[in-house]
Every structure is written in structure tokens, then in C-alpha cells.
A = this chain, B = another copy of it.
Amino acid sequence: MTKKLDRKLDMSLAVSPLAPKTTPALPAVAGVKFATHAAGIRYQGRTDLMVAELVAGTTVGGVFTRSLTASAPVEQCRTNRKHGQARVLVVNAGNSNAFTGKKGASAVEQTVAAAVATFGCAPHEVFVSSTGTIGVQLPFEKIVAALPEMKTKLSATATLDAAKAIMTTDTFAKVATRTSMIDGKTVNIVGFCKGSGMIQPDMATMLAYIFTDAVLDAATVQYLVAGSADKTFNCVTVDGDTSTSDTLLMFATGQAAHKVVNHPHDPRLADFKITLLDLMTDLSKQIAKDGEGATKFLEVRVTGAEHDKAAHRIAMTIANSPLVKTAVAGEDANWGRIVMAVGKSGEKVDRDKLAIRIGGVAVAQEGEAVPGYDETPVAAHMKGQEVVFEADIGIGPGHATVWSCDLTHGYIDINGSYRT
């Protein structure tokens, strides 16, 4: 695997054509500081380690991969999340510390112990993530050695650096920021994430972190992050593969001026909920837009399914179909493949009620092609960078939207290049 990854690193990966044209300026979030370091865990000549120090009193919520072969760091986060308090986040790129047995768990423990010693917090307040190759022992001693120096470099404005330090096959840093109001007071939200392959987050993307200065108790943070993940990160798929390391954490530092919110249904959260969902949607779409080899962004909207869960499964089946994804790559309005995917979803479907739209144009309805179907506007839509497929199942109220990308030679190049 070493040669393979090295080769991948040698390939100067061109930035995805779907990358945002500009990177937003990221405001400091009161109570959060970042530091990055080139620890040489696997990559050379770039940062691969980040630390976030969080002010005392920071609450945390998170959701994690449903993979049954989850990594050691995921297990650590899952355990600590229940305490609801966070002071330090440590993330490395290049090695996922997954399928590393007892030594892997020990590597996490050593990292936590070093964070405790360096930052003066409790072990349950430390969160560790690792992303990269599976099955290789993590050289945790490099992380342990780096932490004291990183503490001296902490900065409230190093957010973009932090986002860059956790990248693996990503071709651009994925960041987003919003401001919201709670109880008449301004709160900031900043988020970043990484991930472009092995992406069908059963709950979250590979790694995503959200920081806010809102004053929220831990149960409220957990409710907000878990509920929003279902509508955002859980709606992204690149290749249908689920990482062993998927992690989404949200930290609330409590530094904003409003009074504490102790309940997720508090009406003062109305704007914050919408804003958080918007930020997480933004980050989620960026992941699809950086799908390995992606040249087109695909949005699949399903309506009229038996219920929302059925709609989500149908949409995911469409978005994960290699035949649909190669048709998108080929700018081929091959709606028969959408029909095929709907049919294999396993959800309740009546073939003769199914309707398909591409780019807003009806192509099929009542179980056959639209009479006098003119492909011209559909063909034009397929040539764009953002393709929208809609399937109306015609039998119920269920609806869902998912985001994906096309399947191209680039995906094969990145994941299947011969080792030489």
C-alpha cells in the first residue's frame, strides 16, 4: 500500500473543476484556537496534523460511522462524546489508525495522554481523529512529540490552515461560515471537512468539524448535529463506500452573549437551526464536488415515495448506480438507467406511475417516454457542471434529496493506478 499511496501523492492532483471559485474569509470563533504541523506521519512537505484548543466549558456533540470495522479513534470519540465536554481536538492525515488492533487503541491512548499533559485537561475532554491508509500502525510518537510546540503556535485565525492539514485525496479545502442570531445576539459558526473517496457517509462525511460560540448544553448540541447530519452529510455519496473513520463533531464554546439554551426545541434556536443546516449543506455539497475524479455535480431529488426513508433509499440507489454515474460523465440523458435504479432500490414502486425529469424537463411519465419527447433541452442540461435528476414515484408523500458526482476515468486513475 505504501507505494500506491506515494504514487497517488506524486500525481499532482488537479483541483476539482467543481471547486468553489472563492474561499470565504473565516472569522475567529471565540474560544477556539488552531495549530498545524508537518509531522511527517506519511506525507512529506505539507502539514498533516492539527490541534484545536477549546475554551473550558465547551460542549460537544457528534455522530460517527456505522461501520462495524470502525477505527480506534472513532471508538474513542464515541465514548468521550457521552461526557459532552471538549477541550482538545487532535486530527492527523495520512494514517487512519483503522484495523490496527490493540496497538491502534494504545496509540489513541498515548495521544490523549500527551494532550492531557500539554493542555491540562481531562482525558474525556480530548477528541482524536485519524484519516488515511487502513491497516498500518500509527506513528503516534510523532504526534506526541509535536503537541507541546503546537501549543505555542495556537492562533484563533488559523482555521483554513487547519482545514488544509486534514486533507488526503481532497483537491481543495472545504470550509464554510455563517452568522446567526440567538436571543438577539450574534453567534458565529465555522465548519470544515475533508473527504473525497470512500464516501457514503452512513451518518457523516469522513471528517467534519463545526465550531460555534453559541451557548448550548451538550444535549442540545448533540440533538442539533445529529438531526442536521441526516439532512446533509448523510445525503452525500461519491462511491457508495463507507469509511471506517467517518466523524462529525460540533463544538459550542459558550462565548457568545446570549443566555444558555438548554433544550433543542427552544424557540430561540429557530434561526440557528436553519443556519446550521445551511452551513452543513454547503460543506456536504463541497464533498460531492470533490468526489474522486468528479467532473459533474449530481443532485437527485425523489418525491412521491412511500415515506421519506424510502425516498432517501431510492435517491441513494440512483446516485450510487455506476451506470447512472457513467451516463452523467458521458453527458448522456440515459433515463432508462434511472428507471433501472428506481426498480432495484427495493422500495415500493409502481412502474406505471413513475415520472422522470432531467434538468426540470419531463422525459418519462406513466411508465413510458413522454409523447413527442424532445431531447434537445435535456442534452443541453447534461452538458452543464450541475446535473439534476428528479424521480416522482407517484405513490406517497416521501421525499429526499441527495448529492453525488459522476464516475469518470479520474476515479479509476486515483484508485486503480498500477503500482510501479
Contacts and interface: CB of A to CB of B under 8 A. Distances in A.
Interface in A240-257: 240-244
A186 interface: no
A134 interface: yes
Interface string A302-335: 0000000000000000001111011111111111
A217 B99 CA distance: 53
Interface centre among A197, A242, A243 (most CB of B within 10 A): A242
Given A99-B369, A327-B415, 16 more contacts: A68-B345, A99-B364, A100-B368, A103-B368, A104-B368, A135-B339, A239-B323, A242-B340, A244-B340, A323-B415, A325-B416, A329-B412, A330-B419, A331-B418, A408-B416, A412-B412
Given A349-B68, A416-B327, A135 B368 contact: yes
A411 interface: yes
Given A99-B339, A340-B69, A349-B68, A326 B416 contact: yes
Contacts of A134: 336-337, 339-340
Interface string A1-33: 100100000000000000000000000000000
Contacts of A149: none
A289 to B, nearest CB: 18
Nearest to A347: B68
Nearest to A96: B336
Given A332-B1, A339-B69, A412-B408, A322 B367 contact: no
Interface string A332-355: 111111011111110111111010
A353 B5 CA distance: 27
8 contacts: A69-B349, A70-B343, A134-B340, A135-B339, A244-B340, A330-B415, A330-B417, A331-B418
Given A367-B101, A415-B330, A240 B339 contact: no
B242 A198 contact: no
B416 A332 contact: yes
Given A99-B339, A134-B339, A416-B327, A344 B67 contact: yes
Interface residues of A, number: 76
A93 to B, nearest CB: 15
Contact of A322 (B323, B332, B344, B411): B411
A407 interface: yes
B336 A411 contact: no
A265 interface: no
A202 interface: yes
A340 B243 contact: yes
A39 interface: no
A197 to B, nearest CB: 7
A186 B339 CA distance: 45
Contacts of A1: 332-334, 336
Interface string A380-420: 00000000000000000000000000111101100111110
